[in-house]
Amino acid sequence: MLFGAFLLSLLFAYQWRAAPWAKTAVFALGIVFVLPFMGRDNTSYFDLVIQMLIFGALALGLNIVVGLAGLLDLGYIAFFAVGAYLWGVFGSPQFAEVSGNAAFATGINANFFWLFIPLGVLAAALVGVLIGLPVLKLKGDYLAIVTLGLGEVIRIFANNLDVTNGPQGIDAIESAPVPWLNSLAGTLGFAPDQYRLFFLYILVLIVIGIVILVNYRLDRSKIGRSWIAIREDEVAAQAMGVPLLRTKLLAFASGASFAGAMGVIFAAKQTFIDPKSFDYFQSIGVLSMVILGGMGNIAGVLLGAVVVTMLNLMILPTISEVLQGSFPNINPNLDPSKYQRLIFGLVLVLMMLYRPEGLLPSARRQAEMHQDDDPPPDSLEADNALQAGTSEVLSPGFSTRGENERTGSER
């Protein structure tokens, strides 16, 4: 409850009407000082926050494809898998099996981890372009179905190729050693078994900061405006000179690159990956984060990632533990964690009914969703105005005629 209250305080700080430097100071205090010490006392908070940030970056990448460009991609998790398996194969004993060289019994040198983050970006962007090329002439449901199928193709490859060790997955994945950061963690009172999570927490903060900055710049750039134009009306955008194929491919490649970088970090954090970690339910989950938080808004997408991750990894398991502790003889089928997708589906249905724009929507999205809330006066209101004698009400077709029938003196 205290952890949830702390996250709510960050949300209130974001909506606080204050100077930007004051908001930045509050966020820096919470993220740089409060959260690490909460993680020092309870490692599960560290793990949870890192998961939130990883999925937040994934949601920001998908927000470019879906929220800005309007391309419904249901196979987005495939780019995440590309980055994860790229480092998973080279940074683990699996590389010795692939290469047949016993010298790589623990994988390549762990310091190459830094090189594989940009390599994950490039590999995922390349896969995004290859997936985007054959499907970008499709629209709507057809595009969603084809991208879902292509995402499943990547997972099936991972499930059947020897290089990925098939369904058994890859374990003992290393991460880069950072001695000076370990010394800093020890000085701050962290235990040696917490050094790895402390390093990954700092790394994910830096990466998601870069992702947010790139998203912010893209949203306000010529490319971002081109994406929005394509989302609104492809024909009009093309008539105004927007190159559809190139612009859509840029959206796919940009969104995929964020997923590739986070895939490398995810593999290093989990130390084990298998094809089950990248099924289509994960793509639906990331899409739900974007929709729930508010498409097109960076803060809203991050909020959606936090809410969904907390619901899946913290709230429902905690409710299950409380129920089992309070009622030891309760039917196991009543375990809330078993109905995770059902509960989250109900949440989404309620959101679509009562707040379709999301929890924290962008101003543009909110205006689009509520443009019909204040309709123009109908004929009944016009009749009432005539009967009251307050004003002359003319339809658009007769207003010009009425003006032309007036004499010069009357005008």
Query: Do 244 and 100 fall into the same domain?
Result: yes
Q: Is 67 exposed, middle or buried (0-12, 13-18, 19+ CB in 10 A)?
A: buried
- Same domain, residue pair 177 and 147: yes
pLDDT of residue 125: 92
The pair phi, psi for residue 273, each rounded to 5°, is -135, 150
Q: Is residue 373 part of a domain?
A: no
Segments forming the whole domain that contains residue 395: 381-405
Residue 237 and residue 153 in one domain: yes
Do residue 284 and residue 386 come from a single domain?
no
Q: Do 96 and 20 have their domain in common?
A: no
pLDDT, residue 342, reads 82
What pLDDT was estimated at residue 136? 76
Q: Are residues 61 and 29 in the same domain?
A: no
Tell me, yes or no, whether 48 and 134 share the same domain: yes
pLDDT at 392: 47
The total domain count for the chain is: 3
396 and 249, same structural domain? no
The pTM assigned to this predicted structure is 0.83
Sorted by sequence, the CB contacts under 8 Å of residue 279 that are 6+ apart come out as 77, 155
Q: What is the pLDDT of residue 368?
A: 64
Shared domain for 207 and 265, answered yes or no, is: yes
Final residue of a domain: which of 249, 283, 302?
A: 302
State the pLDDT at residue 103. 77
Does residue 342 lie in a domain region? no
- pLDDT for 115: 92
The confidence score (pLDDT) of residue 261 equals 92
Task: Kindly list the distances between the CA atom of residue 41 and the CA atoms of 35, 36, 189, 194, 200, in Å, as whole numbers in the listed order.
Answer: 10, 9, 10, 10, 17
Amino acid 396: pLDDT: 46
Per-residue b or e along 273-291, where b marks 16 or more CB atoms closer than 10 Å to that residue's CB: bbbebbebebbbbbbbbbb
In a domain, 308, yes or no: no
Look at residue 379 in the predicted model and tell me its pLDDT.
Answer: 44
**Is residue 394 domain-resident?**
yes
pLDDT digits (tens, 9 = 90+) for 5-31: 777 777 777 777 777 777 778 877 888
Answer yes or no: is 240 within a domain.
yes
Residue 296 lies in a domain: yes
Residue 316 falls within a domain, yes or no? Answer: no
For residue 81, give every residue at least 6 positions away whose Cβ sits within 8 Å of its Cβ, in sequence order, or none.
154, 155, 158, 263, 275, 277, 278
Q: 163 in a domain, yes or no?
A: yes
Residue pLDDT, tens place only, 110-152: 888 999 999 999 999 998 888 888 877 777 778 888 888 888 8
Low-confidence ranges of the chain (pLDDT < 50): 377-383, 385-386, 390-403, 405, 407-411
Query: Last residue of a domain, which of 269, 302, 335?
Result: 302
Q: Does residue 199 share a domain with residue 152?
A: yes
CA distance 58 to 56: 5
User: Using the 8-state DSSP alphabet, how is residue 273 labeled?
Assistant: B
% of the chain with per-residue pLDDT over 70: 88
Do 21 and 47 share a domain, yes or no? Answer: no
Does residue 388 share a domain with residue 282?
no
Which of 280, 302, 324 is a domain's end point?
Answer: 302
DSSP 245-259: HHHHHHHHHHHHHHH
Distance CA 59, CA 50 (A): 14
